Amino acid sequence: MSPQRISLNIKIFELGSQRAEALASLKPPELIAEVLQEFQGELPFLGTRPESYALRLASSTSRLDDQLPLSEQSLVNSPNLILDEREVTLPTGAAPLSKAAYLREPNSGQVYRLWWQPALIGRPHPGKSGDLLLAVNLDSLQEGRKASRRQALLTERKGQFYITNLSPKNPFIVMTEKDGQPKKYSIEEGEYPLRDKDQLSLGGDSIRLVFRLNALETKSLTK
Protein backbone atom coordinates (compact mmCIF):
# COMPACT_ATOMS: atom_id res chain seq x y z
CA MET A 1 0.00 0.00 0.00
CA SER A 2 1.32 3.42 -0.95
CA PRO A 3 1.96 5.82 1.94
CA GLN A 4 -0.77 8.39 2.52
CA ARG A 5 -0.15 11.84 1.07
CA ILE A 6 -1.78 15.23 1.57
CA SER A 7 -2.22 17.74 -1.26
CA LEU A 8 -1.00 21.17 -0.14
CA ASN A 9 -0.42 24.63 -1.58
CA ILE A 10 2.55 26.32 0.10
CA LYS A 11 3.21 30.03 -0.45
CA ILE A 12 6.99 30.40 -0.55
CA PHE A 13 7.60 34.13 -0.34
CA GLU A 14 7.62 35.78 -3.80
CA LEU A 15 7.69 32.42 -5.56
CA GLY A 16 4.01 32.31 -4.74
CA SER A 17 1.92 29.21 -4.15
CA GLN A 18 3.65 25.91 -4.89
CA ARG A 19 1.83 22.58 -5.12
CA ALA A 20 3.08 19.77 -2.88
CA GLU A 21 2.05 16.16 -2.37
CA ALA A 22 3.44 15.67 1.12
CA LEU A 23 3.63 12.47 3.11
CA ALA A 24 0.97 12.63 5.80
CA SER A 25 3.48 11.26 8.31
CA LEU A 26 5.83 14.24 7.93
CA LYS A 27 6.12 16.78 10.71
CA PRO A 28 6.35 20.48 9.72
CA PRO A 29 10.16 20.74 10.15
CA GLU A 30 10.60 17.75 7.85
CA LEU A 31 8.34 19.28 5.22
CA ILE A 32 10.17 22.60 5.56
CA ALA A 33 13.49 20.81 4.99
CA GLU A 34 12.15 19.38 1.73
CA VAL A 35 10.87 22.80 0.64
CA LEU A 36 14.24 24.45 1.35
CA GLN A 37 16.10 21.75 -0.53
CA GLU A 38 13.89 22.13 -3.59
CA PHE A 39 13.61 25.90 -3.80
CA GLN A 40 16.78 27.25 -2.19
CA GLY A 41 18.44 27.92 -5.53
CA GLU A 42 15.50 30.05 -6.68
CA LEU A 43 15.59 32.61 -3.85
CA PRO A 44 18.90 34.15 -2.73
CA PHE A 45 17.71 34.62 0.84
CA LEU A 46 16.24 31.14 1.36
CA GLY A 47 18.48 29.26 3.77
CA THR A 48 19.24 25.66 4.64
CA ARG A 49 18.07 25.47 8.25
CA PRO A 50 14.48 24.31 8.83
CA GLU A 51 14.55 25.68 12.38
CA SER A 52 14.68 29.21 10.92
CA TYR A 53 11.22 28.81 9.38
CA ALA A 54 7.66 27.88 10.31
CA LEU A 55 4.50 26.87 8.47
CA ARG A 56 1.08 28.33 9.17
CA LEU A 57 -2.38 28.11 7.68
CA ALA A 58 -3.09 30.89 5.21
CA SER A 59 -6.26 31.61 7.15
CA SER A 60 -4.51 31.88 10.53
CA THR A 61 -1.61 33.60 12.27
CA SER A 62 -0.86 30.49 14.34
CA ARG A 63 1.80 28.18 13.06
CA LEU A 64 1.51 24.42 12.73
CA ASP A 65 2.60 22.26 15.65
CA ASP A 66 6.16 21.12 14.93
CA GLN A 67 5.67 17.98 17.03
CA LEU A 68 2.62 16.61 15.20
CA PRO A 69 2.51 14.91 11.78
CA LEU A 70 0.57 16.66 9.05
CA SER A 71 -2.17 14.02 9.26
CA GLU A 72 -3.08 15.31 12.74
CA GLN A 73 -3.25 19.02 11.90
CA SER A 74 -6.67 19.45 10.26
CA LEU A 75 -5.30 20.16 6.79
CA VAL A 76 -7.95 18.33 4.78
CA ASN A 77 -10.23 21.35 4.51
CA SER A 78 -7.44 23.96 4.80
CA PRO A 79 -4.61 22.87 2.50
CA ASN A 80 -3.21 26.38 1.93
CA LEU A 81 -0.03 27.04 3.92
CA ILE A 82 2.46 29.90 4.17
CA LEU A 83 6.18 29.54 4.83
CA ASP A 84 7.38 32.24 7.25
CA GLU A 85 10.69 33.18 8.78
CA ARG A 86 10.90 32.75 12.54
CA GLU A 87 11.60 36.08 14.12
CA VAL A 88 14.26 36.31 16.81
CA THR A 89 14.43 38.29 20.03
CA LEU A 90 16.74 41.29 19.70
CA PRO A 91 19.72 41.21 22.08
CA THR A 92 20.25 43.96 24.61
CA GLY A 93 21.69 47.05 22.98
CA ALA A 94 20.51 46.15 19.48
CA ALA A 95 18.04 47.94 17.22
CA PRO A 96 15.93 46.45 14.41
CA LEU A 97 16.82 46.98 10.76
CA SER A 98 14.43 48.78 8.43
CA LYS A 99 14.97 46.25 5.61
CA ALA A 100 15.26 42.48 5.33
CA ALA A 101 19.02 41.95 4.89
CA TYR A 102 20.99 38.74 4.47
CA LEU A 103 24.50 37.38 4.01
CA ARG A 104 24.74 34.22 1.92
CA GLU A 105 27.69 31.82 1.71
CA PRO A 106 27.50 30.54 -1.89
CA ASN A 107 29.32 27.22 -1.49
CA SER A 108 27.21 25.82 1.34
CA GLY A 109 24.07 27.82 0.60
CA GLN A 110 24.00 28.91 4.23
CA VAL A 111 22.07 32.13 4.79
CA TYR A 112 22.39 34.51 7.72
CA ARG A 113 19.35 36.72 8.24
CA LEU A 114 20.42 40.02 9.77
CA TRP A 115 17.78 40.93 12.32
CA TRP A 116 19.51 43.71 14.24
CA GLN A 117 22.20 46.35 14.30
CA PRO A 118 24.96 46.68 15.16
CA ALA A 119 25.40 43.16 13.76
CA LEU A 120 28.70 41.51 14.61
CA ILE A 121 30.33 39.24 12.02
CA GLY A 122 32.89 36.85 13.46
CA ARG A 123 33.13 33.95 15.88
CA PRO A 124 32.05 33.38 19.49
CA HIS A 125 34.37 34.53 22.24
CA PRO A 126 33.48 32.64 25.44
CA GLY A 127 32.91 34.94 28.36
CA LYS A 128 32.73 38.11 26.30
CA SER A 129 29.53 40.16 26.41
CA GLY A 130 30.03 41.23 22.80
CA ASP A 131 28.80 37.82 21.71
CA LEU A 132 25.26 39.05 22.32
CA LEU A 133 25.49 41.05 19.09
CA LEU A 134 26.99 38.17 17.08
CA ALA A 135 24.66 37.93 14.09
CA VAL A 136 26.91 35.99 11.69
CA ASN A 137 28.73 33.11 13.39
CA LEU A 138 31.43 32.01 10.96
CA ASP A 139 32.38 29.00 13.08
CA SER A 140 29.81 26.98 11.15
CA LEU A 141 31.79 27.42 7.92
CA GLN A 142 34.65 25.14 6.95
CA GLU A 143 37.14 28.03 6.77
CA GLY A 144 35.44 30.09 9.46
CA ARG A 145 38.40 30.13 11.83
CA LYS A 146 40.41 32.16 9.33
CA ALA A 147 38.24 35.14 10.22
CA SER A 148 38.77 37.13 13.40
CA ARG A 149 36.44 36.65 16.35
CA ARG A 150 35.41 40.29 15.98
CA GLN A 151 35.88 40.63 12.24
CA ALA A 152 33.35 43.24 11.16
CA LEU A 153 30.32 45.24 12.21
CA LEU A 154 27.31 45.88 10.00
CA THR A 155 25.10 48.90 10.63
CA GLU A 156 22.32 50.80 8.89
CA ARG A 157 21.41 54.48 8.72
CA LYS A 158 18.34 55.68 6.84
CA GLY A 159 18.20 52.54 4.72
CA GLN A 160 21.90 52.57 3.78
CA PHE A 161 23.99 49.68 5.11
CA TYR A 162 27.62 50.01 6.14
CA ILE A 163 30.34 47.56 7.10
CA THR A 164 33.26 48.36 9.40
CA ASN A 165 36.39 46.28 9.90
CA LEU A 166 37.02 45.61 13.60
CA SER A 167 40.28 43.75 13.00
CA PRO A 168 42.74 46.02 11.13
CA LYS A 169 45.39 43.28 11.10
CA ASN A 170 42.98 41.03 9.23
CA PRO A 171 41.54 43.21 6.43
CA PHE A 172 38.82 41.99 4.11
CA ILE A 173 37.74 42.87 0.60
CA VAL A 174 34.44 44.27 -0.66
CA MET A 175 33.70 43.39 -4.28
CA THR A 176 31.15 45.63 -5.94
CA GLU A 177 30.27 47.26 -9.25
CA LYS A 178 30.91 50.87 -10.10
CA ASP A 179 29.85 52.37 -13.43
CA GLY A 180 29.12 48.85 -14.64
CA GLN A 181 32.64 47.61 -13.87
CA PRO A 182 33.70 45.20 -11.09
CA LYS A 183 35.71 46.87 -8.34
CA LYS A 184 37.56 45.58 -5.28
CA TYR A 185 38.18 47.57 -2.10
CA SER A 186 40.39 46.43 0.75
CA ILE A 187 38.79 47.42 4.05
CA GLU A 188 41.34 47.91 6.81
CA GLU A 189 39.58 50.56 8.89
CA GLY A 190 36.60 52.86 8.76
CA GLU A 191 33.19 52.04 7.34
CA TYR A 192 32.21 51.21 3.77
CA PRO A 193 28.70 51.45 2.24
CA LEU A 194 27.20 48.16 1.09
CA ARG A 195 24.83 47.64 -1.83
CA ASP A 196 22.69 44.68 -2.78
CA LYS A 197 24.81 41.89 -4.35
CA ASP A 198 28.12 43.21 -2.98
CA GLN A 199 30.47 40.40 -1.94
CA LEU A 200 32.68 40.20 1.14
CA SER A 201 35.93 38.25 0.99
CA LEU A 202 37.17 37.36 4.48
CA GLY A 203 40.01 35.33 5.94
CA GLY A 204 42.40 35.82 3.05
CA ASP A 205 39.74 35.07 0.43
CA SER A 206 38.80 31.76 2.09
CA ILE A 207 35.28 32.97 2.99
CA ARG A 208 32.85 34.61 0.57
CA LEU A 209 29.61 36.21 1.72
CA VAL A 210 27.10 37.87 -0.60
CA PHE A 211 25.08 40.76 0.80
CA ARG A 212 21.43 40.67 -0.28
CA LEU A 213 18.42 42.87 0.38
CA ASN A 214 14.94 41.45 -0.02
CA ALA A 215 12.86 44.16 -1.65
CA LEU A 216 9.68 42.27 -0.83
CA GLU A 217 9.65 42.33 2.98
CA THR A 218 8.67 38.91 4.30
CA LYS A 219 6.20 38.35 7.08
CA SER A 220 7.69 36.64 10.09
CA LEU A 221 6.42 34.71 13.07
CA THR A 222 7.65 35.27 16.59
CA LYS A 223 9.15 32.33 18.40
pLDDT band at residue 220 using 50, 70 and 90 as cut-offs = very low
- pLDDT of 61 > 90? The answer is no
- pLDDT of 139 > 90? The answer is no
Provide the whole-model pTM.
0.85
- Tell me the pLDDT tens digit for each residue of 172-204: 999 998 878 889 998 888 899 999 999 999 888
pLDDT recorded at residue 170? 87
Whole-number percent of the chain with pLDDT over 90: 58
Domains of the chain and CATH, by start: 5-86 (3.10.20.90), 95-220 (2.60.200.20)
CA 197 to chain centroid, in Å, comes to 15
Task: Pick 168 or 10 by higher pLDDT.
Answer: 10
- pLDDT of 142 > 90? The answer is no
pLDDT recorded at residue 1? 57
Nearest alpha carbon to residue 85 among 55, 64, 44: 55
